[in-house]
Amino acid sequence: MTDRLIVATSVSGPDDADAILVRDGRIAAVGREQQLDDGSRPVERHVGVITPAFCDAHLHPVGYASVLHRPSLMNAAGFDEVADILAAAAAASPEGSAVTAMRLNDETLAEACLPDRHLLDRAVPDRPVFVVRYCGHVAVANTRALEMAGIGPDTPDPEGGSIDRDERGMPTGILRETANEIVSGALADLAPPVTREHLIEAAASLASLGLASVGGIVDIREGCWSGAASELDALIDAAPDLPIRVGALVVAHTPEELEEAARRLAEAGPMVGFLGLKAFADGSFGGHTAAMAAPYADRADRCGTHRLEPAWGHRMAWAALRLGGRVAIHAIGDAANGRVLDVMERLIDEGADPAMLRIEHASVLTDDDLARFGRLGITAVVQPAFLASEADWLETRVGPERLSRTYAFRSLRDAGVPLAGSSDCPVEPPHPLWGMAAARDRCGLVPEQALPAGAAHDLFTSGAAAAIGESRSLEPGSAADLVVIDGDPIRLAADGLRDARVVATYVDGSPVRFPQIAPWPD
């Protein structure tokens, strides 16, 4: 590790500092260049403000690498354009391979609904097709893909999922929650995998956004994003050359699977590690699968989907805790959050450390559960960027009464809940500055729940770092995880944050070389 002096226009915090001395990967001193430069070490100069590097507590590294290299449907105007994109992808891919695409958004399609298998059949008649809604909880498969997965008119809904059917009982191709995992697994050998090089490049792209570390969700099963290998396999394969740190939250189904994943990650090198368990209690607002205590405002026949069996969750949670890991459970609807809080309250009563317990999203809460959240000391891992993509339809989905307690960042903070920021990328762009901006201006949605500038910055620095077992500080002795930005993120207005540019990112005192690829496809 080379000692270096990093000099910029200023250092966030101290009024007169413009330089940081790095020694052996840690901050040795903060001050003025003329005080710290003795001529014995290299000096790296930038125009901008040095701040602690950013952290994203929850994203999907293999999914992010996939979205950089697979067709995106986010900007498709309607079904015809969806079909054109899929046909072009088929023409450009090897014969016999599956056609996969990401970020389908029915809310912005002219037809205002999801396409069905028949549209996909017409676009690509000779091979399996599988497209995923941008939330990741709903997918559409064509007839050939359904047949390869063994899904037909007599196939029962899997536990924790559902298969949409037409008036004759035939599958429409629309799959919700665990049902889409059946097709993804069946196509694993036919879909182009995320390569080791893709994953390393994606990690460098995250560094170009100022991220030095992330909490990365990885599944132990094969799927159409990681190919014949699992997401865990892909991460471990890339681990020796990753430019940022990844703490892996593992999607597993038995304590034995979790223990084996933790062992493998411990042997993979210093840039990856076992962070804990990732589990699901429900789905998404967009797919009407988030588990709600009362029906959706725009679908009186639906209250969402419960995916967490409490006894299983309790058993898996203790398996993670005994391995030194955290417990991170996805819960969006108020009913799902109540169920997860019940499980976690029991864990705390049995001696679990609340700092090791996280609820991912905590999107809508009852008043009683919000107070319970704060009393228990569990971390809420929140995604301000969800507001940008949901602002136009969220009130229609949850109704005005629930809207005031949806993404209630200010209320959570006031209740004493530890908050950590994330993007849930590839659900949303992984840019932490955009997340800070959304936490501050709420994209105009329930502005009284906005966070002040310092708290928004903390989401993606100290808050997110704490949620993955790290810290962020410019104090001497701290890890030299630093970012240089062309503006002060605490002083910039929200629009300025969205326009700010990351100049350089240092991980353990070493600069990360940014790749040429754009860090977001749309």
pLDDT of the residue at 429: 97
pLDDT > 70: percent of the chain: 99
**Alpha carbon of residue 368 to chain centroid:** 27
Burial 13-41 (b: 16+ CB within 10 A, else e): beeebbbbbbbebbbbebeebeebeeeee
How far is residue 166's CA from residue 189's CA, in Å, rounded to a whole number? 29
Reply yes or no on whether the pLDDT at 65 is more than 70.
Answer: yes
Reply yes or no on whether the pLDDT at 15 is more than 90.
Answer: no
Using only C-alpha atoms, the chain has a radius of gyration, in whole angstroms, of 23
How far is residue 472's CA from residue 464's CA, in Å, rounded to a whole number? 9
The predicted-structure confidence for 333-376, as pLDDT tens digits, reads as follows 999 999 999 999 999 999 999 999 999 999 999 999 999 999 99
Reply yes or no on whether the pLDDT at 50 is more than 90.
Answer: yes
pLDDT of the residue at 294: 98
Q: Where in the chain is the domain with CATH 3.20.20.140?
A: 56-61+193-511
How far is residue 173's CA from residue 62's CA, in Å, rounded to a whole number? 24
pLDDT > 90: percent of the chain: 96
Q: How confident is the model at residue 13 (pLDDT cuts 50, 70, 90)?
A: confident
Q: Is pTM beyond 0.75 here?
A: yes
How far is residue 378's CA from residue 415's CA, in Å, rounded to a whole number? 11
The predicted-structure confidence for 472-501, as pLDDT tens digits, reads as follows 999 999 999 999 999 999 999 999 999 999
**107 and 393 Cβ atoms separated by less than 8 Å:** yes
CATH number of 72-186: 3.10.310.70
Q: What is the CATH T-level fold of the domain 56-61+193-511, as seen in this structure? A: TIM Barrel (3.20.20)
Average the pLDDT over 311-324 and give the result: 98
**168 and 75 Cβ atoms separated by less than 8 Å:** no
Q: How confident is the model at residue 225 (pLDDT cuts 50, 70, 90)?
A: confident
Q: Where in the chain is the domain with CATH 3.10.310.70?
A: 72-186
Average the pLDDT over 41-69 and give the result: 96
pLDDT of the residue at 2: 75
Q: Provide the mean pLDDT of the chain.
A: 96
Reply yes or no on whether the pLDDT at 228 is more than 80.
Answer: no
Q: How confident is the model at residue 398 (pLDDT cuts 50, 70, 90)?
A: very high
pLDDT of the residue at 155: 97
